[in-house]
Amino acid sequence: MSKTIKVKLKIWRQKNRSESGHFEDYQLDTVSTDMSFLEMLDTLNEKLVIDNKEPVAFDHDCREGICGMCSLMINGQAHGPEKETTTCQLHMRSFKDGDTIIIEPWRSKAFPVVKDLMTDRSAFDRVIEAGGYISVNTGNAQDANTLPISKENADLAMDAATCIGCGACVASCPNASAMLFTAAKVSQLSLLPQGQVEADERAQNMVAAMDSEGFGNCSNHAECEASCPKGINLSHIARMNRDFLSSKIRK
């Protein structure tokens, strides 16, 4: 049953990437527990606009847990306290009356703050550009039956492909590593026959791009897996490491 709660908010405010940021305190007295977290922020921004104050900038798009834009650190947890849930799918019923909620942007050298809670995650785009593609014959599509794929590999590739590139893995990792993201993008192609043409160079190029962007290395803390809203498994990192080492040997 819906009810209203009071919440105190400590929100990171930062004008641009070149200036220092700080926390500002706000309070909302009538937050419906049926609201999503982003709807709560919408309510705050409406209040700020009415009071002739600068609204809080934050990223969002589909609000259906698909696009990965709603990247917020909530009380020290990427996307908040609910497991395998994006910020836009997090509801205020997850919080108690009188709670203080600390809201920050992703923290990573590779994800510079644009404004307030918005970060520049174009580093992920450049990692994808380095190898997240396959060579295809642009003629007629092949009959599906000519490309046999085991159910195990098909399931693993589909699991990897569910990565929405939100960056929670980077924000949660003490090393700000992008290994889980990169590994998922490598796996979704390397597990399928269509991805074999560029298999060797894909692993090398995407790892090189990841390193050049300033992401840290994986040290098996497993915070990436714990915070991933799509539940992507660490085994993909092991697969990428095997692909990378094997390609070095064959080169």
Give the residues across from 96 on adjacent strands.
none
Residues 97 and 140 in one domain: no
* C-alpha span between 103 and 115 (Å, rounded): 13
- From 69, 90, 114, the end of a domain falls on 114
CATH of the domain at 28: 3.10.20.30
The torsion defined by the Cα of 96, 102, 104 and 109, in degrees rounded to 10, comes to -120
- Specify the CATH number for the domain of residue 239: 1.10.1060.10
Distance between CA atoms of 27 and 30, rounded to whole angstroms? Answer: 10
Q: Do 86 and 174 share a domain, yes or no?
A: no
Q: Which of 184, 165, 174 is nearest to 70 (CA)?
A: 165
Per-residue model confidence (pLDDT) at position 144: 67
Closest CA to 244 of 162, 128, 131: 131
Q: For residues 241 and 235, what is the distance between their CA atoms, to the nearest angstrom? A: 10
Single-letter residue type at 36: S
Residues 76 and 126 in one domain: no
Question: 92-115: buried (b, 16+ CB within 10 Å) or exposed (e) per residue?
Answer: beebeeeeebebbbbebebbbbbb
Work out the angle at residue 179's Cα, subtended by the Cα atoms of residues 195 and 247, and round it to the nearest 5 degrees.
45
Same domain, residue pair 156 and 97: no
- pLDDT for the residue 197: 86
Per-residue pLDDT, 251: 64
> Within this chain, do residues 242 and 125 fall inside the same structural domain, yes or no?
yes
Whether residues 109 and 141 share a domain: the answer is no
Instruction: Give yes or no: residues 96 and 160 share one domain.
Output: no
**Which residues, 6 or more positions from 202, have their beta carbon under 8 angstroms from its beta carbon?**
131, 132, 186, 189, 190, 195, 243
- The count of structural domains within the chain is 2
131 with 59, same domain? Answer: no
| Res 189: pLDDT | 93
Q: Same domain, yes or no, for 243 and 126? A: yes
Boundaries of domain holding 41: 4-114
pLDDT of residue 236: 95
Q: What is the pLDDT along the chain (251 residues), one digit of tens a residue?
A: 679 999 999 999 999 999 999 999 999 999 999 999 999 999 999 999 999 999 999 999 999 999 999 999 999 999 999 999 999 999 999 999 999 999 999 999 999 999 999 999 999 999 999 999 888 776 777 776 777 889 999 999 999 999 999 999 999 999 999 999 999 999 999 999 888 888 889 999 999 999 999 999 999 999 999 999 999 999 999 999 998 988 878 76
Cα separation, 27 vs 99, whole angstroms: 10
**Per-residue confidence (pLDDT) for residue 10, from 0 to 100:** 98
- Could you say which of 114, 130, 153 is where a domain stops? 114
Q: Are residues 125 and 103 in the same domain?
A: no
Name which of 183, 181, 173 is nearest 219 in CA terms: 173
Residue 216 pairs in a beta bridge with: 177
Residues 64 and 105 in one domain: yes
Question: Of the candidates 84, 114, 144, which is a domain's last residue?
Answer: 114
Report the distance separating Cα 42 and Cα 10, nearest Å.
15
Same domain, 75 and 127: no
| Cβ atoms of 91 and 77 closer than 8 Å | no
Integer Cα distance of 120 and 92 in angstroms: 27
CA 111, CA 120: separation in Å to the nearest integer?
A: 5
